[in-house]
Amino acid sequence: MGALRERDQIELQYKWSTEALFATNEAWEEEFQAVRKQVEDDPFASLRGHLGDGAGVLLRYFEVSKVLGERLGKLQIYAHILADQDTRQSLYQAMQSKVQMLSAEFAQKDSFFEPELLALPQEQLDRYVQSEELNAYRHLLDNLIRNKPHVLSDETEAALASLHDVLGTAGQVFSQLTNADFQHGAFTVDGTEYVVTEGRLGLLLRNSNRMVRQLAYEHVYDTYLHHKNAIGALYANSVKADVRLARVRNFATARQMALFANHIPEAVYDALIKGVRENISYQHRYVELRRRILALDHVRLYDKYVPLAQANLDDYSFEKGFSLVQEGLRALGDEYQEILKKAIDERWIDVFETPGKRSGAYSTGFYATRPYVLLNYQGNYDSVSTLAHELGHSVHTYLAGKTQLPHYSHYSIFLAEIASTVNETLLVNHLLDITEDPLARATLINQQLDNLGSTIYRQTMFAEFELDAHRAVEEGHALTHDSLSEMYSRLNTFYHGPAYAEDERSTAEWSRIPHFYRAYYVYQYATGMSAALVFADRIRKEGSSAAEKYLGFLRSGSKDYPLAVLQEAGLDMTDPSVITQALSIYGQLVDELEQLLTAVNP
């Protein structure tokens, strides 16, 4: 690959339109100073202590919060995308730091609102919810007021706030250990030296040479096992903190507390596990297919990610890739196509990698700005799929912002990945529709199966592990590295089936997962992927009627609780049949991949 072009060598149409936010950095600074003065003057001074004086005071609070929130949001987005387009520029980093500090000051001035509101008598809160004057905020108020049983005395809340950093210590120490302190060494195979790092492990595990995969795996896992007692103690303390905080806040379990924020009943979590367990045979068949194609006695953890088929899918200019995304998403209708065109015409997308640019990809923005998409486009199929993914987020943000009132224009993490995954699924389905070459089809399906499996099956296994670990502590049992590994090994064996074999290292895989320090989070990846598969399948089979229901979901934002938004679009996530529908699609892909690999390798 050649040297990267500097940013000033990139054509304008491939760079996002920062000028749509502020014409110049000087204009941003002028607005920053104006907003800072308003924040320092305390915009809530006349409202603090008066939320019980009537609906008019509450309405005034919402209006002040909205206006300043919009202005701060624009300042944040501008500084954020400039800082990411060139991380070497100290000016941009300083701008981002300044606005972060200003936002923190605004949040501190605003922190009175929820405690003061929830301290009001329930009868008065009920009157506010039913008030015509506050009708536009009814759901928002309902969502706030349901926290009342879990908000403690001022003294207790202050004590918990002061302990916030301490309660997160286990995760912070884990991150420092694994990202800063752990060294995994190097090894040589056939004259080639391989330096092992956490970031390179994924690539090494895709190497076609099994010895390379095995040695990379052993180097990483031996490091973790060398520190097994420390990591076991860290995670045990993280779980104990979750359980104790839940009890202090009057929740029956840590899971109930974690799911409460998005108003998700525990039945959704249980339905996910039930649906996946009842359809585990598809995963077992895929692991057996992997064992057979790779000619192994058993699949080991380090064999799970090596591709079973590899066609060349690297010939996509940005224009060709964008056109492919448009074609793949045509079933979503004319309005969706018009928004995609707007993304190009209004320069939402920063396309190419340049020196100093942040790696990866994301979509940002909110109702008061256009969406902004960061890419590092490489011209391969992964880049095209990433483009479709991020545009899914962007269109979701755009439609919700265009349709809903500002305070309902965002959407919860429980729903966030659905729009992006629907786009990825429609794209790969379109590619399969127009691809006849068996090797190319096998490559696409192999990638799709690995993506689906790592999201639905793997994240559900993680969700079960979290549940088992927390229940053990809630029932009075101690957690150790050995007990956690035994717990994890039982799940690993069940989820992968008879073609898979455990070893001491793979039983400790749990010890490498940073998400476990954010309790009961990962299940949302599996529910989101399952919902997206069902939406995409319905759109392909039912056409415009299903597409319109799905667009209704995108327009809904947070006007209602996440489950209600999905139910309105035709999905009941408390019913395991949604998971069953999603995994039946996975099973069909396993069938086709087996046929294709047999044709390619008779």
Other C-beta atoms closer than 10 Å to the C-beta of 139 total: 16
User: Angle at which helices 55-85 and 90-110 pack, to 10 degrees?
Assistant: 160
Separation of alpha carbons 147 and 162, rounded Å: 20
> Which residues pair with residue 349 across a beta bridge?
373
Separation of alpha carbons 397 and 373, rounded Å: 12
Separation of alpha carbons 198 and 203, rounded Å: 10
CB 562 within 8 A of CB 412: yes
Q: Which two tokens stand for residue 249?
A: 């806040």
CA within 13 Å, CB half, 469: 33
**Count of helices and strands (H, E) across the chain:** 27, 5
Q: Which of 116, 132, 319, 390 is catalytic?
A: 390
Q: Which two tokens stand for residue 93?
A: 């980093």
Q: What is the DSSP letter of 308?
A: S
Instruction: Please indicate whether residue 26 is annotated as part of the active site.
Output: no
CB 527 within 8 A of CB 573: yes
Other C-beta atoms closer than 10 Å to the C-beta of 433 total: 11
Separation of alpha carbons 375 and 362, rounded Å: 7
List the one residue out of 1, 2, 10 whose CA is nearest residue 354: 10
| Biggest CA pair distance of the chain | 79
Render 74-91 in DSSP notation, one character per residue.
HHHHHHHHHHHH-TT-HH
CB 287 within 8 A of CB 499: yes
> Which residues pair with residue 362 across a beta bridge?
374
Separation of alpha carbons 212 and 455, rounded Å: 25
Tell me the three state secondary structure of residue 187. strand
Separation of alpha carbons 407 and 78, rounded Å: 21
Beta strands 192-195 and 362-364, pairing class: unpaired
First to last CA, the chain: 35
State the burial class of residue 526 (Cβ atoms within 10 Å of its Cβ: 0-12, 13-18, 19+). buried
Separation of alpha carbons 532 and 528, rounded Å: 6
Other C-beta atoms closer than 10 Å to the C-beta of 583 total: 24
Amino acid at 216: A
Separation of alpha carbons 347 and 217, rounded Å: 42
Q: Which residue has the tokens 């087996």?
A: 594
Other C-beta atoms closer than 10 Å to the C-beta of 18 total: 19
Active-site residues, by number, are: 390
